[in-house]
Amino acid sequence: MLGLLGLLGGVAGLLVLHVVPPTNAISPVRRTISEYALGQGKWLFDLALLLVAVGSALGFAELARRRAARPLALVLGAVWTVSLLVIVVFTKTDWTVGPSVGGLVHRYASVAAFLSLPLAVLLMAGRVFPRDSLWRWTARGLGALSLLWFGTIVVGAVNMLNGGPPWWRFVPLGLVERMVAGSAVAALVVLLLGLVRSRPQVTEVADRGPARLR
C-alpha cells in the first residue's frame, strides 16, 4: 500500500504540473515531461519522480519478499528506479542554451526507464496472478501498450536514418512519451493493486514452490 501511495502521489504531482500556471503553458503534445524541470516547476517535477521511485522500490521489494518475481524482473525494476533518480539529478538539455553532457545522460536514463518497467511487468504478471487472468492480462496489456508507443519513436529514428525528418518531429513526442510512461506506471499500479487484492492466494502459491507458478 505504501508503494501504491508513492506511485499515485507522484503521478498526481505530474498531473498538477499540466494544469497550474506557469507550467500549464507547456504543450503536453509536443514537449516532453522533463520540460517541466527547466522552469519554476522543477521542485514539483523532482518531488513527483522521487515519489514514483520510492513507491516503485517498495513495490518491487514486496514482490521480491513474496517471491512473486523472477530475478530478471527485479533487475529491470531496479533499472527503472535508478533511472528515475538519474533523471532527477541530470536535467534534460535546455536547447535554448545548447547540448550538455548532463542532458545526454538524462536521455539515456529516460530510454532505460521507458523500456525496463513494462518489460518487468510483462515478466511478473504471470507469477503474481497465476490464476486470475483478468488482472494478469490487464497488467500485460498495459505493459505491451507502453512498448508499442515506444516503438513509434524507434520507427521515427529509423525513418530519419533513411532521409526522413528528425525522429523528435516524426511523432508528437510529448504525447508519445506520456503514453509510454503512463501505460507503464499504470501497469505497475495494476500489478500492486492485484497483489494486495489477492494476497492470500499469491502467498499460498509462492510458498508451494516455483512449479505451481508456471
- Model confidence at 201: pLDDT above 60: no
pLDDT of residue 198: 64
- Model confidence at 70: pLDDT above 90: no
Contact 143, 123 (CB under 8 A): no
pLDDT of residue 204: 42
- Model confidence at 203: pLDDT above 90: no
Tens of pLDDT, residue by residue over 173-183, are 999 999 999 99
Q: Each residue of 122-149: b (16+ CB within 10 Å) or e?
A: bbbbebbbbebeebbebbbbbbbbbbeb
Q: Pick the more confident residue, 85 or 213.
A: 85
**Domain coordinates in residue numbering, the chain:** 2-204
pLDDT band with cut points at 50, 70 and 90 for residue 199:
low
The grid cell for 81 is 528506479
The three-state DSSP-derived secondary structure of 55-70 is HHHHHHHHHHHCCCCC
pLDDT of residue 74: 94
Cα radius of gyration rounded to whole Å, the chain: 18
Amino acid 14 reads: L
Could you tell me which of 189, 168, 136, 177 has the C-alpha nearest to residue 32? 177
Using CB atoms within 10 Å of the CB of residue 21, give its burial: 0 to 12 exposed, 13 to 18 middle, 19+ buried.
exposed
Give me the mean pLDDT over the 78-96 stretch.
93
Q: Pick the more confident residue, 40 or 184.
A: 184
Tens of pLDDT, residue by residue over 10-37, are 999 999 999 999 999 999 999 999 999 9
How far is residue 196's CA from residue 135's CA, in Å, rounded to a whole number?
A: 12
Contact 178, 15 (CB under 8 A): no
pTM, rounded to two decimals? 0.87
DSSP state of 31: S
